[in-house]
Structure 1
């Protein structure tokens, strides 16, 4: 199964510091979608809410994730999952199996 991995802390397309090194075997392939612009440390955020500029960055990153999708999309944080879901709903596909998961 092919997975598109999207997270605000991914800096490079080859970034495999999170999740991908911990999946054993060859059944799964991953493509990381990096965040454009500066990355942020969520643990040091000044505000407890997501601001407009951050929503825009997440919206743009979700666009890249949906474009790169060949199978499933793995996200973190509810904001990024929401933006990916909105984009997929806008395109009209919530479930688009590309191959059997057996």
Structure 2
């Protein structure tokens, strides 16, 4: 799944996000499909996503233990985006 982290680590990060804000993963997938988020609901969802990512990712165990936690958090963001895209693609193929 990921370029930088294992599937287990990515699932750990997703679980941490879900623990912080239940349903956030589904919201992230939904927002990935929105070309131009222009409603108040979209703005609120984007804000919730950014807040969850900013609060949770730096505290994920393998990010905290990394030599450069900021870089580790950024790399995890890339892998999470890829995981979202993979799930969206799997859903499209399954439809």
Structure having the higher helix fraction is: 2
Shorter-chain TM-score tier: 0.3 to 0.5
Using CA pairs below 8 Å that are at least 6 residues apart, which structure has the higher relative contact order? 2
Task: Please give the TM-score of this superposition, normalised by the length of structure 2.
Answer: 0.38
Structure having the higher strand fraction is: 1
